[in-house]
Amino acid sequence: MSKFYILLGSNIEPEKNIPLALGFLGTSPEWVLLSKSGVWRTKPIGSCCTDFLNVAVLVETPLSPNELKNRLAAIESAMGRVRTEDKNAPRVIDLDIVAEDDRVIDKEISVFDHILLPLSEIAPNMLLPDSLTDLAEASAARKKFTAAVRVD
């Protein structure tokens, strides 16, 4: 069994789509939802569109990373996700694996507030080599996250 940290993001009807995605994640027989962060409102990256809502979750599953990625893609498709050439385009839902156990998969964890802040709530001691909590506090002190607000 492995533990995976998954980041959820939406900026198309996010008040509806984040809870819907959490419902999919919370009821799958293929994994157990162990933890969920608060909801964070963040500005889009490289896009002119509306703010995102972001949440991080921790699941435990016997699935491999590729199998889990395929299951997450199926949830995105079921919710109407349309992928375009623009990596930063608005989206109904985005489900990304950012870490497996304590191994970072997404190297941008420490760069972007939409990843760092929700993840720091459920994995405060994950090392990058600094803990996520230390990174979040240092970034907030530099005023890097003035546009990020926890909304729940």
Residue 6: pLDDT band with limits 50, 70, 90? very high
The span from the CA of 95 to the CA of 7, in Å, is: 6
Q: Kindly name the residue from 41, 51, 71, 81 that is annotated as catalytic.
A: 81
Find the CATH number of the domain harbouring 82. 3.30.70.560
Which residues does residue 54 pair with via DSSP β-bridges, in sequence order? 9, 40
Q: For the chain, how many structural domains are there in total?
A: 1
Q: What residue numbers bound the domain in which 43 lies?
A: 2-150
When comparing pLDDT for 94 and 139, which is higher?
94
The SS3 of residue 122 is helix
Q: Kindly name the residue from 94, 106, 134, 152 that is annotated as catalytic.
A: 94
Q: Kindly name the residue from 41, 71, 86, 91 that is annotated as catalytic.
A: 91
Residue 115: pLDDT band with limits 50, 70, 90? confident
The span from the CA of 82 to the CA of 66, in Å, is: 20
Give percent of the chain above pLDDT 90. 51
Burial of 129 (0-12, 13-18, 19+ CB in 10 A): exposed
Task: State the average pLDDT for the chain.
Answer: 84
Is residue 123's pLDDT more than 80? yes
Is residue 84's pLDDT more than 80? no
- Terminal CA-to-CA distance of the chain, rounded, Å? 31
Which residues does residue 103 pair with via DSSP β-bridges, in sequence order? 100
Averaged over 29-44, what is the pLDDT? Answer: 92
Please report the DSSP string for 31-46 in residue order: -EEEEE---EEEPPSS
pLDDT of residue 70: 96
Averaged over 57-81, what is the pLDDT? Answer: 95
Maximal C-alpha separation, the chain:
42
Cβ neighbors of 134 (< 8 A, separation 6 or more) are none
Annotated catalytic, 81? yes
Annotated catalytic, 91? yes
Residue 140: pLDDT band with limits 50, 70, 90? low
